Structure 1
């Protein structure tokens, strides 16, 4: 069984799509561990603020099979694939970590956003703080402590999923 961490985000009907996405992840993969949810400004474009969190689960599915399931969940929540990268979206679910795999196909692992975006790193550090990033060779807690927190401010959101 692989230990998998995914980033979940939405800035269109945020509460509805985050809750639906989490429910569908539970149906597809079973028990989830969830980070707190954070609100952050849109990054790379002008749009409504996002809700973001990280989920952890275990699965025997291969990376490509997990990706296909995540795309199915996104589509079921109205996500249009092939749209602009930096745009509003109903639901975005990305594999951040798949065990300690480092690869570029079928997706980049670990996902580059882990080291670049507060809305990914902070919830990951809270969920898996002692895990070691397979390239940076530092714990996610240490990476978060060193991150420039003023660059991308986050606000914790009280939302039960």
Structure 2
């Protein structure tokens, strides 16, 4: 069996009931084989970036997994599909979005997966929650570059406990 790797997963939703959707997604991730959730950021409300629709609820979770990156991505996409995710067009509003942001220190560039996530440095809704749980992974310059994007922590009752 492979050694465990810490991966960071971005969670987001802006259709249906986003907070319960993210809470269910965290439970689903925790139930994946050879995977456990180490910690999760608070939930944040954020304006859509390069998309329309209602505001998003976002978070980032650190997970320890023995799944390889492609298997983890496939499992995350299964959770999205189970949550009713549809992909009518790029950046469409969604019931659940799970992005594999980082997989240890791996650099992966394949037709199926790119890690680090290719647009994570352009998005406050990724960098702010990631900086909360893994400050060593986010530079001050990266946070400054997205400072103009609207994002705010949701009240504690909305976030994971």
TM-score bucket of the superposed structures, by smaller chain? 0.7 to 0.9
Measured after TM superposition, the shift of residue 22 of structure 1 is: 1.0
Question: Given the alignment of the two structures, is residue 35 of structure 1 paired with residue 41 of structure 2, yes or no?
Answer: yes
Report the equivalent of 1:19: 23
Report the equivalent of 1:84: 89
> Structure 1 unaligned runs (5+)?
132-139
TM-score under structure 1 length normalisation: 0.87
Label 1:148 to 1:42 Cα distance change in 2 as closer, same or farther (>3 A): closer
Question: Given the alignment of the two structures, is residue 101 of structure 1 paired with residue 96 of structure 2, yes or no?
Answer: no
2:23, 2:133 → 1: CA distance?
18
Question: Would you say how many aligned residue pairs link Structure 1 and Structure 2?
Answer: 151
The equivalent position to 2:144 in structure 1, one of 143, 146, 151, is: 146
Question: Given the alignment of the two structures, is residue 155 of structure 1 paired with residue 152 of structure 2, yes or no?
Answer: yes
Q: 1:79 touches 1:91 (CA, 8 Å); kept in 2?
A: yes
Q: Which structure has greater strand proportion?
A: 2
Measured after TM superposition, the shift of residue 144 of structure 1 is: 4.2
2:19, 2:131 → 1: CA distance?
23
TM-score under structure 2 length normalisation: 0.87
Consecutive aligned runs of 4 or more in structure 1 exceeding 6 Å deviation: none
Q: 2:44 touches 2:153 (CA, 8 Å); kept in 1?
A: yes
> Structure 2 unaligned runs (5+)?
none
Label 1:143 to 1:33 Cα distance change in 2 as closer, same or farther (>3 A): farther
The equivalent position to 2:62 in structure 1, one of 56, 71, 77, is: 56
Measured after TM superposition, the shift of residue 45 of structure 1 is: 2.4
1:154, 1:67 → 2: CA distance?
26
1:110, 1:61 → 2: CA distance?
17
